[in-house]
Amino acid sequence: MKRCLAVLCGVLAVSSTAMAQAPAAADPYAAIVAAAPPNQREGATVIKWKSDFTYDTLKKGTNRMVCYDRSGLPLQQAYSIECTSLANLDRVAQNMKAEATGDKVKSEAMLAEFEKNGARVKPEYGSVWFHLMGPDKEHVRQHMTVALPGATAATTGLPDKATQGGAWIMNPGTTTAHLMVPGE
């Protein structure tokens, strides 16, 4: 009995030491926040979109950044991660509803109708959209835009055509107006 007790105590001592020295678990959301700037990843909120265009919060953040996985959703690439301001979630939901048609022409027509009748949700002015997208995780490209709803070449001094080089305003004068920032 004493021998069994000694062996049991020895096993417990070794296993508790091993558990105390086990490496910390990797961040389960690291892949989802990868699109965000490094200094905003740790404090980002992480959500999971549901089929009814609402979402579940997987991790409550401490800053205004929110990240989510759109991989394989209609009109998205096989790998698609997006991060933006929490203030833009209603617009994201509206985009996803239009994209759920699975048809780019129908989706764009739906969003154009929202724009025309004033129902298009405006993004937060100056908010940034960060994207990582591609056919898989090994072949991604980064893309970043800055929301400037209503902006035009006249109001910003920036060109409204990509052909002029550098940053430019896409979709000027609409809620979708945004600064395109050429990347790598």
Domain spans of the chain? 27-144, 148-184
Mean pLDDT on 141-168: 91
Percent of all residues in the chain with a pLDDT value above 90, rounded to a whole number: 77
Q: Residue 7 pLDDT > 90, yes or no?
A: no
Handedness of CA 51, 101, 142, 130 (dihedral sign): negative
pLDDT one-digit tens code per residue, 44-54: 999 999 999 99
Mean pLDDT of the chain: 87
Residue-level pLDDT at 183: 66
